[in-house]
Structure 1
Amino acid sequence: MTTTIEAPRTPRTVRRRGINWEKWGWIYMRASGVVLVVLIFGHLFVNLMIGDGVKALDFAFVGGKLSSPFWQVWDTLLLWLALIHGANGMRTITNDYAHNRLVGVTLKGAILAATVVLLILGTLVIYTFDPCPAGQPVDLLPTFCPAVGS
């Protein structure tokens, strides 16, 4: 009986149809990693280096940043790219180490659920944050709110 071993680079004749999710996950990790480096260092530079640095980080600083459409988009991109990047990494680890199908599906479902919940809550915080809510006692509002100045 003779066994023939194919050469390592022999092309496969069987092609699977559909989307190659592993390939697109790999591409996403590389692309999002590059964009995340720019977003994270921009975020750190503005928060820690410009102005008074760490001493300036307070409720008013965050309220001012989140009232700007530029920073809302910046923080949304940072949130979405980082969470999906991390979830994709956890999915890859699950694929590598969860050998039982039920365990793998359960873990990937939990990762997906946690990611969706955090994306929704984080996005809501970014776009609905109001440092000067109406009807609050004036002594509890920050000094930059219009009700305090009058």
Structure 2
Amino acid sequence: MTSTIEAPRSPYSRAPRSRGVNWEKWGWIYMRVSGVVLVVLIFGHLFVNLMVGEGVSALNFAFVAGKLTTPFWMVWDVLMLWLALIHGGNGMRTLVNDYATQRLTRGILKSAILAAVVILIVLGTLVVFTFDPCPAGSPADLLPSFCSAS
């Protein structure tokens, strides 16, 4: 007695391509690599913010302003932002591909995910690179030590 396994259901089918870039494979690889890098970046971020120095009680505007004036931490935070948003967007794209059965619905949802990821990456990158650690009119006790009180 032999039994056969039916082909799995798929919400949509595509004709197999023999040439070109396999975007699904590269998306899968990106998820694995970015996940490992994100673990290092996030735990490094948490360690520096919560464990080093005075710990969580030292977290205030001056602490963040001091970190965002250092090119190392600017790159660290932007890398964490970019990797996390692209990682999350790719995961959401995978969910949409798995569960949205209508082609138009898939297109709309994936376009919305792409728009959200691009907007958040642009805004987050602008915040990090245009951050002013010494805003005019701020109380001197809240400013970092390198700001001149005026």
Q: Please classify the TM superposition score into its range, dividing by the shorter chain length.
A: 0.7 to 0.9
* TM-score where L is the length of structure 2: 0.84
CA-atom RMSD in angstroms:
2.0
Q: Deviations over 1:28-50 (max 9, x none)?
A: 00000010010000000000000
Q: What corresponds to 2:122 in structure 1?
A: 120
Quick check: 2:41–2:80 contact (8 Å CA) kept in 1?
A: yes
Match of 2:32 among 30, 33, 37: 30
Q: Hey, what does 2:91 align to over in structure 1?
A: 89
What TM-score comes out, normalization by structure 1 length? 0.84
Largest Rg, 1 or 2: 1
Q: Is the 8 A contact 1:29 1:85 kept in 2?
A: yes
**1:137 corresponds to 2:140:** no
Q: Does 1:147 align with 2:148?
A: yes
Instruction: Give the Cα–Cα distance (whole angstroms) in 1 for the partners of residues 121 and 144 of structure 2.
Output: 31
Mark the runs of 5 or more structure 1 residues left unpaired by the alignment.
6-13
1:43 aligned partner: 45
Q: Report how far residue 146 of structure 1 moved.
A: 3.4
Give the unaligned 5+ runs of structure 2: 5-15
Is 2:65–2:144's contact at 8 Å kept on the other side of the alignment?
Answer: no
Does the alignment pair 1:67 with 2:65?
Answer: no
Runs of 4+, deviation exceeding 2 Å: 136-141, 143-147
User: In structure 1, how many angstroms separate the alpha carbons of the residues matched to 2:54 and 2:144?
Assistant: 19
In structure 2, the CA distance between the partners of 1:74 and 1:138, relative to structure 1 (3 Å rule), is: closer
Aligned to 1:19: 21
Hey, what does 2:109 align to over in structure 1?
Answer: 107
Aligned residues: 136
| Contact 1:36–1:81 (8 Å) recurs in 2 | yes
Instruction: Quote the Cα distance in structure 1 between the aligned partners of 2:30 and 2:45.
Output: 21
Residue 63 of structure 1: how far off its partner (Å):
0.1
Say which structure, 1 or 2, has more relative contact order (CA 8 Å, 6+ apart): 2
